[in-house]
Amino acid sequence: MTSPRPASASQALAPAERAVQLLGGDLSEVALRQHLEGLPTVDAVGLEARAASFGTRSIKTTSKAAALDTVIRMIDLTTLQGSDTRGKVRSLVAKALVPDASDPSTPRPAAVCVYGDMVGNAVEALGSAWSAGKDDGINVAAVATAFPSGRASIGVKLQDTRDAVAAGADEIDMVIDRGAFLEGNYGKVFDEIVQTKDACRRDDGTYAHLKVILETGELVTYDNVRRASWLSILAGGDFIKTSTGKVQPAATLPVTTLMLQVVRDWERLTGERIGVKPAGGISTSKDAIKYLVAVAETCGEAWLDPHLFRFGASSLLNDVLLQRQKLTTGRYSGPDYVTID
């Protein structure tokens, strides 16, 4: 069934630099639609077979040790519950600062991810370890734009973003309007991403990095995931992210592989690298390593970097720490050997 066309199909869209370069200066809903609906259809069988093959690779002990450390460096250690307290955020930060008290060589995760009103608490708890927008240290990521539903006015969404950035958020994880996307109102989704990117601007002219959450479990088809990924990149997203973690299915290997293919194709087309973040449902080292294989074999080893690939997770870190301890001691430790997230 063809998606209904919005009444404003001919209106001009916000002049996002990437979209202007790719689609031309006459940037309209029609031009955007023609591009997105002209993308090749996804071969679902081939995609799922390719994703399944990533779990068949044999990982040697030395490679596994390096892979586990890489996973830790790519984690956005997350708490996104309505019951979150300042104490819980401080505990999360303490875990990020010292993931394994028994092994000081354990790397730290890339970021802690919290609700916007908890950003200041996270920044304070990190102290000198906070990255403060630089390349070293631990970043503070904040969900915004009426996470997880995205059901709010654009004014509320933008103020949500500005407040988090003003409080010190290094990264903003926004949600797209899935209802608008599924209605075929691509221009509305596009413009909201562009405006959210603008709201990420700091007083000194730099920008918090923008991760665009597609909520792939609600997009229904692989073709929609591909279109939403391209749309998010064209509108200015620095990362494309699978899920909020509040909807099932959340991250899956086939969907993440498809999104990796999109950023690979974007890099081949423009020379620019965009990040990917699967989030929700990745809780074991075994699964995480499959994602690393997918990254390396789809985009290349350059993407095995926290600037280009992240895991959104809460329980994954503990499993990785237990596996890491097992490689060191030769014995499996129980859950009492790691702190509770």
Just list the catalytic residues.
173, 241, 277
Residue 141: phi and psi, rounded to 5, are -105, 140
Residues 6+ apart with CB under 8 A from 228: 176, 181, 189, 214, 216, 219
Q: Indicate the angle between helix axes 253-270 and 285-298, nearest 10 degrees.
A: 30
Name the β-bridge partners of 114.
Answer: 142
Burial of 334 (0-12, 13-18, 19+ CB in 10 A): exposed
Q: Assess contact for 243 and 218: CB atoms under 8 A.
A: no
Q: How many CA atoms lie within 13 A of 327 on its CB side?
A: 19
Rounded alpha-carbon distances, angstroms, from residue 118 to 158, 230, 233, 298: 17, 31, 28, 36
Q: Give the residue from 236, 235, 190, 245 showing the smallest Cα distance to 215.
A: 245
Give the chain's end-to-end CA distance (angstroms, integer): 45
